[in-house]
Chain A
Amino acid sequence: MSLYSHTKIVTKDKISVEALLSAPVYLKKINGETGLNNNISDKNLHRPQLALAGFTELFTYHRVQIFGNTEIYYLKSLTREQCLTALRRVAGFPIPAIILTNRHEMDGELLSVLNDSNIAVFAAEAETTKTITLLSEFLDDQFAEQMQIHGSFVDVYGVGVLLTGRSGIGKSEIALDLIERGHRLVADDVVIFTKKRDNILMGTGQKMSKHFMEIRGLGIINVQRMFGVRAIRFQKRLEIIVELEVWDKEAEYTRTGLDEKPMELMGVNVANVKLPIFPGKNVTVITEVIALNYLLKTYGYSAADDLTNIIHREIALKRHSKSAGDPRLINYFQSDDE
């Protein structure tokens, strides 16, 4: 059964303005609870300079509006009447929220224009560029594609390894074994992956089940309580998917590791190993080796390619001189008989 057949990609089409308060930018509510229930439906931000100046065609009013130096000083350059007109014009659109950056403020009369239109107003301490960078990253994450996958997600030597396979095959037991050997559990059973930028999948647990685990025949255990903080982590990039399956005589498994077929998950290619298991096979150690092999490849070394090159060289050599030579690794054994 494929990893996907029962998993759907989930994306939010809106978040509430209130959710902005959990962004990594300190935002102070300026007009109380006004507009906190408004919806944000676009991950982009907008600086409404032209809209304030009167050009409201193409005004992306559904985005969060950033009032930085330009906007504020422009309003200040106007007469009181013009200033109110400009603000009213902008507030005539259903804007979800306005953020004043750089410690800018608004007097009561201007604020009441925004209040009347039910627009939330926040003040950010940070300067405009920094606020925009942090907020954009936050909104990107909020609107990112997500997928919930049944498996165990472990950081093995710094490599994010997702163990998948049918229920009862022993994913949690292998994860537990890995934890015993000093690796760190990200999540067991329910793993939520979020697409970050175009080529990264970040995984974390579900907020309720975080670091709880079920061991068949034993029940539920709390990995963090049992093994301490060294045994867990909260997030990790997905780097390899290890598909566990019961050894199938008919199925074909890679023998060299030369022909790698990455698996596509939410449009991101992820390295993928199909691992047949049978009694007596130490899957934990093999999982560690998979992670180490991935690290070697990341640093530019592939054992399969290396051996292939050695054999090519040997074949070429033999074509020139017909002598077979000694096939042993060393030419002679030294005198100690150890």
Chain B
Amino acid sequence: MIEQKLKIKNRAGLHTRPAAMLVKLAAKFKSDIYLERDGYGINAKSIIGVMTLAAEQGCELLVRVEGEDEQAAFDELYALFDSGFGEL
């Protein structure tokens, strides 16, 4: 299992479009991917779930990936967060 905090870098935060990007990416992988904020975890493959995080710029989400392709999944997630969902 991989567990790491990732930061939201883009100014608009995790709004609909970034959320959709994140969910699409997560759904590609077999691993279970969870995002956690304030102890409440949500499934990263659920668009409604990801949007309810209402994650603003600067906020850190605990990303947990578990499964056979966890490393690949985490690497791509990391790159997506790092690129500010293409909004930097």
Q: Which A residues are closer than 8 A to B by beta carbons? A: 1, 5-8, 10, 148, 150, 167-168, 188-190, 192, 206, 208-209, 212-214, 220
Q: Which residues of A are found within 8 Å of B49, using beta-carbon distances?
A: 150, 189-190, 209
Given contacts A6-B64, A10-B40, A148-B40, contact A167 B48 (CB under 8 A): no
Interface of B is mostly: mixed
Chain A residues closer than 8 Å to B48, beta-carbon distance = 188-190, 209, 212-214, 220
Q: Given the complex of chains A and B, what is the CA–CA distance between A69 and B6 in angstroms?
A: 55
CA distance A8 to B38 in the complex (A): 10
Asked if B54 is at the interface (CB within 8 A of a chain A CB), the reply is: yes
Say how far B80's CB is from chain A's closest CB, in angstroms: 18
| Contact between chains at B41 and A206 (CB < 8 Å) | no
- Restricting to B7-66, which residues have a CB under 8 Å from any CB of A? 27, 32, 34, 36, 38-43, 45-49, 51-52, 54, 64, 66
Asked if B39 and A8 sit within 8 Å, CB to CB, the answer is: yes
Q: How many residues of B contact A (CB 8 A)?
A: 20
Which residues of B come within 8 Å of A, CB atoms? 27, 32, 34, 36, 38-43, 45-49, 51-52, 54, 64, 66
Cα–Cα, bound, A209→B49 (Å): 8
Residues of B within 8 A of A5 (CB): 32, 66
* Complex A-B, nearest 5 residue pairs according to Cβ-Cβ distance, in ascending order: A167-B45, A189-B48, A150-B43, A10-B39, A6-B34
Beyond the given A10-B38, A167-B45, A209-B51, please list 4 additional residue pairs across the A-B interface where CB-CB is below 8 A. Answer: A6-B66, A192-B40, A208-B51, A208-B54
Residue of B32, B52, B66 with most partner-chain A CB within 10 A: B52
How near does chain A come to B50, taking the closest CB pair, in angstroms?
9
Q: Min CB distance, A249 to chain B, in Å?
A: 20
A168 and B27 contact, Cβ closer than 8 Å, known pairs A208-B52, A213-B48: yes
B15 to chain A, nearest CB (A): 12
Complex CA–CA separation, A220 to B50 (angstroms)? 13
A162 to chain B, nearest CB (A): 14
Query: Contacts of B34 on A, CB cut-off 8 Å?
Result: 6
**Cα–Cα, bound, A192→B40 (Å):** 9
Q: Are B39 and A209 within 8 A (Cβ)? A: no
Please, how many angstroms separate the alpha-carbon atoms of A168 and B46 in the complex? 9
- B31 CB to closest chain A CB (Å) equals 11
23 sample A-B contacts, Cβ–Cβ < 8 Å, listed by A number: A1-B32, A5-B66, A6-B32, A6-B34, A6-B41, A6-B64, A7-B41, A8-B39, A10-B39, A148-B40, A150-B46, A167-B45, A168-B27, A189-B48, A189-B49, A190-B42, A190-B46, A190-B49, A206-B52, A208-B54, A209-B48, A214-B47, A220-B47
Contact of B52 with A209 in the complex, beta carbons under 8 Å: yes
A residues less than 8 Å from B43 (CB atoms): 6, 150, 167, 189
With a CB–CB cut-off of 8 A, which chain B residues contact A6? 32, 34, 41, 43, 64, 66
User: Cβ of B42: which chain A residues have Cβ within 8 Å of it?
Assistant: 148, 150, 190
